[in-house]
Amino acid sequence: MNPVKRTLLIAPVLLSCVGCDQVTKNIARHGLANSEPIAFLNNIFRLQYAENPGAFLSLGAGSPENIRFWVFTFFTGIFLACMLVYLLVSPNNSKVKMISLSLVVGGGIGNLIDRIFNDGCVIDFMNIGIGSLRTGVFNVADIAISFGVVWLFAISFKASKKKPAL
């Protein structure tokens, strides 16, 4: 696939991931920050504002601030830039792989924007569960990243099933 077609495939995914993520986080910041959680579907789905200084499920949240900056902002930014360059220049990726990687990069950029402009914290605001069995609080970027990673694993699994055993 030529570079223009690759860019036309990747750009809308990136822009929609980052755009939807930032718009929903802005709504959460203004509508949920100082309120009690809002429950839907008999408390299966909840909207509740949280600022996460760590990674997925607050991993690393208790680390010193300078360590969190280097790991979650600086190195993550470098990693996302490298993934974006890979997406733009690698001619041998399938469309499905490019879209799934774009979801990961788009979600990562959405969370990176938060870290840069929100004192190293990511805004989370959704929670799903039944009773005490609940997910961590997450956001649209986390959904994009998770979906992209699961899709990549599915692609890899499907490709490995097609290869003949040695």
21 part of the active site: no
Residues 37 and 127: beta-carbon distance below 8 Å: yes
114 part of the active site: no
Catalytic pick among 21, 114, 119, 124: 124
Give the catalytic positions in this structure: 124, 142
